[in-house]
Structure 1
Amino acid sequence: MIRFNRAIKPFSVMSFDLDDTLYSNHPIIKAAVKAQQNYLNALLGYQEQGPKYWQLCRELAVIQNPDLADDVTKWRKHTLRLALSKLGFTADDVERHANAAYNAFADARSNIVVSDDVLNLLDNLAKHFTLVAITNGNVEIERFNLHDKFELVLQAGMHGKAKPHSTLFDKAATHLNVAKSEILHIGDSLDTDVQGANNAGCQSVWLNDQGANYAYKGLADIEIANIHALTHFIK
């Protein structure tokens, strides 16, 4: 299925969200969170704080530093340090255990294998368009098989404010020396991907396959139900 809500202008760049757009991220995140939790639960006093302790520390971290909301890696690392500090660990032990817990998370977080059919789709699209990735997530793309598929990878926090803010789209246009209207952004979230692209003056494709509820009521330029509908644009 492909539905055009607005006429598409010529574009030269296809920008992709990563998580839940090019692969299913739900089992990956679940495994990464479990790996981190297993490490923390083995530490003296952590498990006794109860199942809500992590979330309470996470909320406290972003209250103390609202800018963390734009960088999920820093937010997680800050939360780990905060949670361990509150348990009375020494500064050295806080750093050691926070780094080890984050590494457990990151190792599982990047345990991704993108399917061959999606890789082939990207290869075919790359013959006609410049491909970039714009993500709010903290996946380490160099650790799995998307590492050589994009001319540019921009991540929230590291490179600017999270979508739907326009910063990452602005940086992509500047780096590639193209007008933002020449960027067609594809993503699964109305709230971040579609709203962000629309606000930035890019064109947008909503991959509507998550069954989620979104706050944003604007329309994507194009709606698809399967990523392979993008073959429509291969000349």
Structure 2
Amino acid sequence: MIRFNRALSPVSVLSFDLDDTLYNNHPIIKSALQAQADYLEALEQWPTDSMSYWLTCRDNALKHDATLIDDVTRWRQAALHYAMTDLGFSAEQAQLHAENAYQAFADARSQINVTNEVLELLTNLSKHYRLIAITNGNVEVEKFNLNGVFELVLQAGPHGKAKPHSALFDSAAKHLKVPHKEILHIGDSLDTDVQGANNAGCQSVWLNNQATQYRYQGLADIEISNIMALNHLVKK
């Protein structure tokens, strides 16, 4: 399915969200969380009410530093360090266990294999458009088979505030030296991807393939139900 809600103006850049847009991120995150949990639960001091304690640590870390909300990597690292300190580890041991637990998560987080069909789609699109990625997530693109696909990868936190804030789109336009309206952003979330692109003056594609309730009431320029519908953008 492809539905045009507005006619597109000329586009020179295709910007992609990553998680749940170019691959199914749900099993990947589940595996990464399990890897972190396995490390933490092997610690004698780790409480039996693991999930409740972890959520408390996340909340307290955010209370100490509100800027963590825009950087999921720093937030997880800060929550782990808070937990290790709260459990009574020495400063050195707290740092060691926090780093090890995060590394367990990060290693599993990048165990991604984008399908050949999607890679072929991106190759075809790259013949006609500049390709970039704009993500709120912390996946390390260089560690799996999207490595080298994008001219630019911008992540919330290191490169600016998280979508739907316009910061990452502004950075992309500035770096690529193109007007915002020449960037067409493709993503699965109305609240972050479509709202962020629309607010920044970019154009947007909503990949509507998940049963999720969103707050944003605005329209994407294009709505699709399958990423392969982007083949319609290949210039004949």
Per the normalisation by structure 1, the TM-score is 0.99
Q: What is aligned with 2:158?
A: 158
5 Å-filtered alignment, 1:171-182, equals: 171-182=171-182
Q: What is aligned with 2:205?
A: 205
Deviation at 1:51, TM superposition (A): 2.9
Q: What is aligned with 2:124?
A: 124
Partners of 2:100 and 2:160 in 1: how far apart?
26
5 Å-filtered alignment, 1:70-219, equals: 70-219=70-219
Partners of 1:139 and 1:9 in 2: how far apart?
31
Question: What is the identity, as a one-letter code, of the residue corresponding to 2:75?
Answer: W
Q: CA RMSD in A?
A: 0.7
Q: Where has structure 1 moved over 4 Å in runs of 4 or more?
A: none
Q: Which runs of 5+ in 1 are unaligned?
A: none
Q: What is the DSSP-based 3-state SS (H/G/I as helix, E as strand, rest coil) of the residue aligned with 2:3?
A: strand
Q: What is the DSSP-based 3-state SS (H/G/I as helix, E as strand, rest coil) of the residue aligned with 1:48?
A: coil
Partners of 2:130 and 2:9 in 1: how far apart?
16
Question: What is the identity, as a one-letter code, of the residue corresponding to 1:225?
Answer: S
Q: What is aligned with 2:222?
A: 222
Q: What is aligned with 1:35?
A: 35
Per the normalisation by structure 2, the TM-score is 0.98
Q: Name the % identity.
A: 64
Deviation at 1:151, TM superposition (A): 0.3
Which segment is superposed worse, 58-67 or 83-92?
58-67
| Count of aligned positions | 235
